[in-house]
Amino acid sequence: MDILILAVVIALVAVGAISGLVVSSRKKKQLPPSAPPSTPTITAPPAEPQVGEDAAPPKDEARRTIEEVELPDAPVVVEEPVVEPEPEAPALDVPEPTAGRLVRLRARLARSQNSLGKGLLTLLSRDNLDEDTWEEIEDTLLTADVGVAPTQELVERLRERVRVLGTRTPDELRTLLREELLNLVGTDFDRAVKTESGVDTPGVVMVVGVNGTGKTTTTGKLARVLVADGRSVVLGAADTFRAAAADQLQTWGDRVGARTVRGPEGGDPASIAFDAVKEGIAEGADVVLIDTAGRLHTKTGLMDELGKVKRVVEKHGPLDEVLLVLDATTGQNGLVQARVFAEVVDITGIVLTKLDGTAKGGIVVAVQRELGVPVKLVGLGEGADDLAPFEPEAFVDALIGD
């Protein structure tokens, strides 16, 4: 009995010692590495007696047992710092290459231009090319907004060549019409968008046009065209008149990694344009594109506004391009706009938007005649890469169809 009591006492002492060791061991773990190790000196109790064993093992055996218990380090709970995941930088778009875009979009162009090219071919293929037929040819051209003078010139030349040709095969007619339309659209213009005037400064392009024509969209798409061609771009949101125009432009810029310089709604467009070019110079950007407001409130108002933008931009260096955006679906109205803008600023190139939605592709011819400057880009849809460099051959081929 005495032995049993002794065993229980020893067991209790052992439990106390073990828990003391564990606590001490935890504390040790929490100390800095330089802290002196705590060396608890504990006389360990013997292990629980097992059936058939002597209740009280010798003291040194008991110590060995407790040392074995003590050996494994108590688990140390190290709290991991909570790391908030970094907000992922939005993945940049990779715009489509610009070469051959017009060919890619040809089907879209052809669909909307059918009435012009196909209509002309059908009429010219008639056995009897009488006066009525020539009048129909003339009407077809006028309806497609080719304009009066260019229409008369074309009909004149077609008449002459058909007469010389005598009998006509469909292939001959197609070739003839293709040549004459190409002649009308013009193959001599330099249609490249110029952006390389400055040696150390970015090229500066100002985009003008009546609101609603697709000006901001075109500026955004043009940024993509330039990025696709390996240029770096800064955007200037100088259309402070239309609510959300700056947001819209910035969204376009963000998608291709182009910074957008903007100001408050209703702010001074000229100072934003100035800052945008300044930013472009500071960044070492290749091109600065400036979107402007196109309010046709009064011609003087427009002139004041665009003139000022132009003047302040030119404090940094010459402007490379002033692109006029025209909505191809507006027909003659577009020509009126073109005239007004041309009086206010020197237009160097035309962007014809929404050609995908109209059969009035003849406006290409009319507006070039009107302003004496080339169509450089055409918009063929609302998709991000639906802006194509204008190529006369691809355009005329689309007009005539296969």
Annotated binding residues, written as ranges, equal: 209-216, 291-295, 353-356
Least Å from the CB of residue 315 to ligand GDP: 26
Which of 381, 388, 394, 400 touches ligand GDP by CB under 6 A? 381
Instruction: Return the number of the residue (43 or 251) whose C-beta is nearest ligand GDP.
Output: 251
CB-wise, 105 or 313, nearer to ligand GDP? 105
Q: Which span sits near ligand GDP by CB under 6 A: 49-57, 137-145, 279-287, 374-382?
A: 374-382
Interface segment toward ligand GDP; rule CB under 6 A; list 56-64, 215-223, 295-303, 305-313:
215-223
Q: Choose the stretch contacting ligand GDP; rule: CB under 6 A; options: 27-35, 94-102, 159-167, 354-362.
A: 354-362
Residue 114 in tokens: 């059918």
Residue length of the chain: 402
- Per-residue x/- marks for ligand GDP, 382-401, CB under 6 A? x---x---------------
Between 140 and 216, name the residue whose CB sits nearer to ligand GDP: 216
> Taking CB under 6 A as the rule, which mask of x and - marks residues 225-264 in contact with ligand GDP?
-----------------x----------------------
Q: Does 265 help bind ligand GDP (rule: CB under 6 A)?
A: no
| Contacting residue, 272, 281, 288, 380, with ligand GDP by CB under 6 A | 380
Report yes or no: 320 and 73 within 8 Å, Cβ to Cβ. Answer: no
CA atoms within 13 Å, Cβ hemisphere of 339: 7
Other C-beta atoms within 10 Å of 394: how many?
A: 20
CA distance 176 to 310: 44
In the block, which residue shows the tokens 């009995």? Answer: 1
Task: Decide if residue 379 touches ligand GDP (CB under 6 A).
Answer: yes
| Pair 234, 259: CB distance under 8 Å | yes
Q: Report residue 358 as tokens.
A: 């109209």
Binding of ligand GDP by 203 (CB under 6 A): no
Kindly provide the b/e burial profile for residues 279-313, where b requires at least 16 CB atoms within 10 angstroms of the residue's own CB. bbbeeebbbbbbbbbbeeeeeeebeebbebbbebb
Query: CB of residue 216 vs ligand GDP: minimum separation in angstroms?
Result: 3
- Coil, helix or strand for 147? coil
Q: Are 256 and 224 in contact (CB under 8 A)?
A: yes
372: left (phi over 0), alpha (psi -120 to 50) or beta: left
145 touching ligand GDP, by CB under 6 A? no
Binding site for ligand GDP (CB under 6 A): 209, 211-217, 242, 353-354, 356-357, 379-382, 386
